[in-house]
Structure 1
Amino acid sequence: MTNATAPAPAIWDPPAAVRVRGALAVVAGAGESVRVYERFGRRLAVDGYTVAAFEAPAAADASAWLAAQVHAPRVLVGSDRGAAAVLALAAGGAPVDGVIVAGVPVGSADDAQAGDAERTACPVHLGVLGEAAAHAVAAAPAIDVPDVAALGRVRIPVLAIHGGADAIAPFSAARDALAALPEVELVETVGGLHDALNDASHRSVAATIVLWLERLRAGGVQTPIVREIVR
Structure 2
Amino acid sequence: MLVGSDTGASHAARLAALDASGLDALILAGLPTGPRPAETAASDWEEELELRTACPTHRGRLTADSAFRRGALAGPPTPESPTLEGISVPVLGLHGAEDTVSPLGEVRRVFRGLPGAELVSLAGTRHDVLNDVTHRTAAATVVLFLERLRLDPGLTPIAVPEALA
Would you call these one fold, judging by a TM-score over 0.5? yes
Check conservation: 2:28, 2:94, Cα contact below 8 A: yes
Shift of 1:145: 6.2
Alignment deviations for residues 33-52 of structure 1 (CA, whole Å, 9 cap, x no partner)? xxxxxxxxxxxxxxxxxxxx
Shift of 1:222: 2.8
CA distance in 1, matches of 2:139, 2:114: 22
SS in 1 for 2:67: helix
Match of 1:134 among 64, 68, 83: 68
CA distance in 2, matches of 1:86, 1:122: 26
Shift of 1:181: 1.6
Shift of 1:154: 0.4
SS in 2 for 1:159: strand
Aligned identity (percent) is: 41
More contact order relative to length (CA 8 Å, sep ≥ 6): 2
Match in the other structure for 1:54:
none
CA distance in 1, matches of 2:122, 2:11: 22
Match of 1:159 among 79, 92, 95: 92
Match of 2:7 among 81, 88, 101: 81
Give the counterpart letter for 1:123 in structure 2. Answer: P
**CA, structure 1 residues 110+134, in 2 after alignment: closer, same or farther (shift >3 Å)?**
farther
Match of 2:130 among 197, 215, 230: 197
SS in 2 for 1:229: coil
TM-score, with length taken from structure 2: 0.82
TM-score, with length taken from structure 1: 0.60
Check conservation: 1:104, 1:174, Cα contact below 8 A: yes
- Alignment coverage as a number of residue pairs: 152
SS in 2 for 1:77: strand
Match in the other structure for 1:104:
31
Shift of 1:211: 0.5
Match in the other structure for 1:169:
102
Q: Confirm or deny that 1:211 pairs with 2:138.
A: no
SS in 1 for 2:130: coil
Shift of 1:176: 0.5
Match in the other structure for 1:53:
none
CA distance in 1, matches of 2:3, 2:139: 12
Match in the other structure for 2:121:
188
SS in 2 for 1:191: coil
- Higher strand residue share: 1
